[in-house]
Structures are given as C-alpha cells and as structure tokens.
Amino acid sequence: MFVDKVKVYVKGGDGGNGMVAYRREKYVPDGGPAGGDGGKGADVVFEVEEGLRTLMDFRYQKHFKAPRGEHGRPKNQHGKNAEDFVIKVPPGTTVVDDDTKEVIADLTQHGQRAVIAKGGRGGRGNSRFATPSNPAPEIAENGEPGIERYISLELKVLADVGLVGFPSVGKSTLLSVVSAAKPKIADYHFTTLTPNLGVVETEDGRGFVMADLPGLIEGAHSGVGLGHQFLRHIERTKVIVHIIDMSALEGRDPYEDYVKINDELKQYNMRLLERPQVIVANKMDMPDAEENLAKFKEALQEDIQIFPISAFTRQGVRELLLAVADIVDTTPEFPLYEEAPDQTRVLYKHEKKEDPFMISRADDGSYVISGTEIEKLFKMTDFSRDESVRRFARQLRGMGVDDALRQRGAKDGDIVRLLEYEFEFIE
C-alpha cells in the first residue's frame, strides 16, 4: 500500500532528575552537597533512508516518545545523556508542524537528518544550589520536559520527470515501454492510483527518474478526483511531460485538454508553470490523429516542443527520451520552499514576550493557572522536599502570580489549580 500523508505525535525525552546527596567520607568533615545533575533527554531525529518508498510504517505506529536522561547520582556524578531517538523516513519527506503549519524540515538526501522534537535538559543536583548562606541545600530540580508536538508528514516523490495528463492518455503505457517499471494498465479511468517510478536510460548512457502520476481531471486543485494526491508529487519534478491523447477517442478536444491541465497546475501552485514542459502527442497510430495534431499546432500559441509518438508501437519514443534527457541535464533543481529550514541557524526577532501565565475561573469557582513557562517550572520542581516547595512559592511570587490572583479576587482559602494539582491560596 502506498501511504504518502500521515499525522503523528512525537515527544522528546525528559531530562533526568537532579539528586540531593551529601559527601560522607572518613576524615572529611563537613563534606557538603554532592548531588549530581540529570542527563539530557533524547532528541527525536528523522533520518532519510533511501530504501524506503512510502510512509507505511507511520500508519501503524503514530506515537513516538524518546527515552529520558539518566538521573543524577551521588558524588557529583552526572546522569548519562540519552542517545538520539532516530526514526527512518523515505527521501522526499516534508515535516510540518500540525498546529502552526510551519515547515520543520524538508528531507531529500540519503542520510540527511533533522531534529523534530528536542529533549529536555537534565535537572540540577543540590551541589548547584550551594551558597555561603545555605551551604547544604536540600534542593534539586526535576528534568526539563521534552518538546511534544503533532506533526504532518507528506511524501512528495523524487523524480526528474513527471508525466501529466487526463486519465487513459497513455502515461502508464509510456512508462512501461521506456523503463522496467510495471504499472497497472487497463482500459478504464484512474487505473493508476499511486505514483509509479521508473528509471529511464537513453541509448547514449544518460539516465533519469520518471514518475507516472495519477490521472488529472478538471477541479483537481480543489481535491476533485485524486486531486492533491496527484499534485503533491509533481512539486519536486524538474521537467513536466504533458501527454495528450491526439486520437480524441473519448470525444475530448486535445487542445482543451492541454489548457485544462495547465490551468489545474496553475491553480494548485503557480511555480509549477516555471518548469520546462514538453508536449507528447500520443496515439499517433490511430485514425484522425494527424489531422487533430495539425489543429492542435494551429491553436497552440506557445513555443513548446511537440513530440508525436505512439507508446503502443514505440514510434517516436527514442527522440522523445533524448530530448527530455537534454532538458533534465540543463535544468536546475526547483526548491519547494523559498528558504529551506536551517537546523544550525538561529533567527532573533523582536517579538512581544509571551505571558508566562494566565489565570481563568473554572465552573466550580476555583482559579486555574496555565501557561507554558509556569507549567514547565512546576514539572521541574521536586515537591517531596520542603525546601524545593518554598523555592517554587518564591518563584511564583516573583513572576507576579500572587498579585494577579488577588486582582482576580482570590481570598484566603480559595482553591488554585495548576495542571491536575490543587493548592490553597493563603494570604
């Protein structure tokens, strides 16, 4: 089964917890704190594996959670960092954040890697919190939570040449003739339901990859017929080979077919028309084909190469392949995005800082505190130790949570909820 679009959940590994420990050795008085830091959680990394052709594996496993870092140890021993959680994807995979629609990575080369969800840093041990006024603290942090997100994976096949045209114009037949590919061929529309790839080798030793893509009909840009299932896969091609049934056996006008297909390409993505296009007048062995070709050339206003062929008898196929190979050799790659995502570059922008917390009221009258920053702070606090709890209370006060609750009308004894935990507001 060919799967080319899936939605999955990924989560980077949490950092390991820091440790509260003290140095106790014979003849070493007042050894002091010796709790080590936790290790870093694993990153979720996508890596291109050229042997893969579909996103089939993601259909059955849609949740990927990376392992957490090792907890800190006594004697100031740092917990082990977790190794990257590597997931293999086929070449041509685009990774998009499902919430923001931002392109995270465009993976095309074998071995190419991209970090999709970063793991959290390890929590600090109590030796990190020692000060002259508190030389033996009982404070240690929990590990930072890893990034979690829903992402969409889209596979756009890697081919140099894309065959486009209405159903039953001979795309699959041509591919089967010029390569070792064996696409399904039958006398009905939409025989091809998934893209077929074939490696074409010309008589002078040059080669390129050709994709036979599902048939296109009017309205495909808005999802009619196979719609986007087809158009997604032509985005990476360097040359478009437009196949037209010049015999007009189904009663359609060849020139109208040409105009409609180009209009669908334009409606889907204007940049598709930037690619060089070759017109293939197929089924020239049929009656009336020559007459229809003459009318087509009269109607065609553009200066585009036209190759009369018969995929069935192989007439004109040699000249077509040589011409397409020439165009492929001289045509540069067309980037899918104006600016490819760069994992190593950091972009600093002047933006308003997101509020660290928000306060709302629940149906039962309790106050609900939410926000990315305050929730992360809560998860990194070790509530099993009183000193850590007092530190958390000081941090909330410094962020302005107490004052904000008072402004919302909170009184002594009111219930305050953060995530699934409840606290009591005390003046």
Residue 346 labeled ligand binder = no
Residue 312 labeled ligand binder = yes
The DSSP line for 193-258 is -S-EEEEEE-TTS-EEEEEEPPP--TTGGGT-TTHHHHHGGGTT-SEEEEEEETT-TTS--HHHHH
Torsional class of 27: left (φ above 0), alpha (ψ -120 to 50), beta (otherwise): left
d(CA 123, CA 238): 50
Q: Is 221 exposed, middle or buried (0-12, 13-18, 19+ CB in 10 A)?
A: middle
d(CA 274, CA 277): 9
List, in order, residues 6 or more apart from 175 with CB less than 8 Å away.
Answer: 163, 181, 183, 196, 198, 210, 212
Name the strand (E) or helix (H) holding 115. strand 113-117
Residue 179 labeled ligand binder = no
Residue 310 labeled ligand binder = yes
Residue 215 labeled ligand binder = yes
> Token pair of 278, please?
């070759």
Q: Which residues make beta-bridge pairs with 395?
A: none
- Tell me the three state secondary structure of residue 149: strand
d(CA 138, CA 126): 6
Residue 330 labeled ligand binder = no
Residue 285 labeled ligand binder = yes
Residue 167 labeled ligand binder = yes
Measure Cα distances from 250 to 188, 257, 293 in Å. Answer: 11, 11, 16
Look up tokens 């977790």; give the residue.
Answer: 82
Count of all residues that appear for the chain in the document: 427
Residue 168 labeled ligand binder = yes
Let me know: does 280 contact 174? Beta carbons within 8 Å.
yes
Residue 192 labeled ligand binder = yes
Residue 166 labeled ligand binder = yes
Residue 349 labeled ligand binder = no
Residue 125 labeled ligand binder = no
Of 125, 106, 160, 190, which is closest to residue 321 (Cα–Cα)? 160
Residue 127 labeled ligand binder = no
Measure Cα distances from 282 to 116, 195, 261, 311, 416 in Å. Answer: 45, 20, 16, 7, 73
Q: Which residues make beta-bridge pairs with 376?
A: none
Name the strand (E) or helix (H) holding 330. helix 317-330
Residue 384 labeled ligand binder = no
Let me know: does 95 contact 55? Beta carbons within 8 Å.
no
Residue 171 labeled ligand binder = yes
Residue 100 labeled ligand binder = no
- For the annotated binding site, the residues are 165-172, 190-194, 212-215, 282-285, 310-312
- For the annotated binding site for GTP, the residues are 165-172, 190-194, 212-215, 282-285, 310-312
- For the annotated binding site for Mg(2+), the residues are 172, 192
